[in-house]
Amino acid sequence: MNYIANENRYGEMSYRNSGKSGLKLPLLSLGLWHNFGTNDDYQNMKSMCFAAFDRGVTHFDIANNYGPVAGSAETNFGRILREELSAYRDEMIISTKAGYTMWPGPYGDWGSRKYLLASLDQSLKRMGLPYVDIFYHHRMDRNTPLEESMMALDTAVKSGRALYAGLSNYDSVTARTAAAILKDLRCPFVINQVRYSIFDRHIETDALERTAEDVGFGIICFSPLAQGLLTDRYLGGIPENSRIGKGGPFLRREQLTEEKIGQIRALNEIARSRGQSLSELALSWVLRSPQVTSVLIGASSPEQIIQNLGILHAPAFTAEELANINAVTGVK
């Protein structure tokens, strides 16, 4: 039986404009970085996409190298689109990226025009789409002229393979310069995707929020739960089935110090005082910034997605709560 979307899917979700553009994104977007790869369960992938879309999560974020293996997240999502979601394509924002290693040799990485446009063509083929809504350059490349990378994004948009241009992992200075180039090209640049969480404040020290406000682009944040540290998984130690327990590449055992465990438990108490889980606190905290358009959530089950949507009813932070969070994490 083919999927039929919940007719009340837009009843609770809130949407924000991406910077000064007309593009609106849901407060929560679904990232396909994990759990959409070759060895993951396809039925679970479908169930997660349905759970998200049924509740107004219209944005699905991918990259060319998501898997493993690289490309498999796009292939699996393309299959879901083709088999179940094609009727709703115009209600969806689908984004992909290029910038990390995708194939061997000098043309399968970084930010050359050759790589970016070839990668986009491969991504569209894997997903079975004529265009994506946002095409990102995934990381800065000091060895390629910025103008070349930005002109490739401009070509992607003006050729009809993307509707908007985006940047990812760009610092404020480079993002400002890139935005100026794209403005001169009359290319709609709408968003910068960056890592941001209670434990990772680099966009604050980099003044990226101020740059976004000045220039007029939105910010979408990944790793808001600090790879799972800002959840209840590690309150009692290291579970064997956790990312640390499995020895994954993005979260290592030595990162979970006694001091960090103490911070996690203190933040959990603040969350409880607000009637939230720790993960809900972390997501709400990221979204407190008016420059943050959306926050990317990853999930391993539909239930996790539904739980995270509880932040739509979260109370605003008081000045005391924000000060307490800063004190716990040592931010002055």
What pLDDT, in 10s, does the model give residues 131-180?
999 999 999 999 999 999 999 999 999 999 999 999 999 999 999 999 99
Q: Is residue 21 part of a domain?
A: yes
CB of 151 closer than 8 Å to CB of 103:
no
Dihedral (Cα; 44, 252, 221, 11), 10-degree rounding = 30
Min mean pLDDT across 179-183, 192-196, 242-246, 265-269 is at: 242-246
pLDDT (tens digit, 9 = 90+) per residue, 294-308?
Answer: 999 999 999 999 999
CB of 192 closer than 8 Å to CB of 219:
yes
Q: So what's the pLDDT on residue 1? A: 58
Min mean pLDDT across 41-50, 118-127, 251-260, 269-278 is at: 251-260
The percentage of residues in the chain with a pLDDT greater than 90, rounded to a whole number, is: 89
Q: Is residue 329 part of a domain?
A: no
CATH number of the domain that 33 lies in?
3.20.20.100
The percentage of residues in the chain with a pLDDT greater than 70, rounded to a whole number, is: 94
For the chain, give percent helix, strand, coil, nearest 5. 45, 15, 40
CA 271 to chain centre: 23
pLDDT of 5 > 80? The answer is: yes
Question: Residue 278 belongs to what H/E stretch?
Answer: helix 278-286
Q: So what's the pLDDT on residue 227? A: 85
Inter-axis angle of helices 258-273 and 319-329, nearest 10: 170
Looking at residue 137, the DSSP 8-state letter turns out to be E
Q: So what's the pLDDT on residue 196? A: 98
Q: Is residue 99 part of a domain?
A: yes
pLDDT of 247 > 60? The answer is: no
Q: Is residue 62 part of a domain?
A: yes
Q: Is residue 40 part of a domain?
A: yes
Number of Cα atoms under 13 Å in the Cβ half of residue 96: 32
pLDDT of 78 > 70? The answer is: yes
CB of 19 closer than 8 Å to CB of 216:
yes
Range of the domain at 217: 15-235+283-314
pTM of the model: 0.94
Residue 17 CB neighbours (<10 A)? 13
Q: Is residue 275 part of a domain?
A: no
Q: So what's the pLDDT on residue 332? A: 77
Q: Is residue 276 part of a domain?
A: no
Q: Is residue 225 part of a domain?
A: yes
* Number of domains the chain is built from: 1
Dihedral (Cα; 178, 150, 66, 78), 10-degree rounding = 120
Rounded CA separation 233/231 (Å):
5
Question: Which one-letter amino acid corresponds to residue 249?
Answer: P
Q: So what's the pLDDT on residue 243? A: 56
* Mean pLDDT, rounded, of the chain: 94
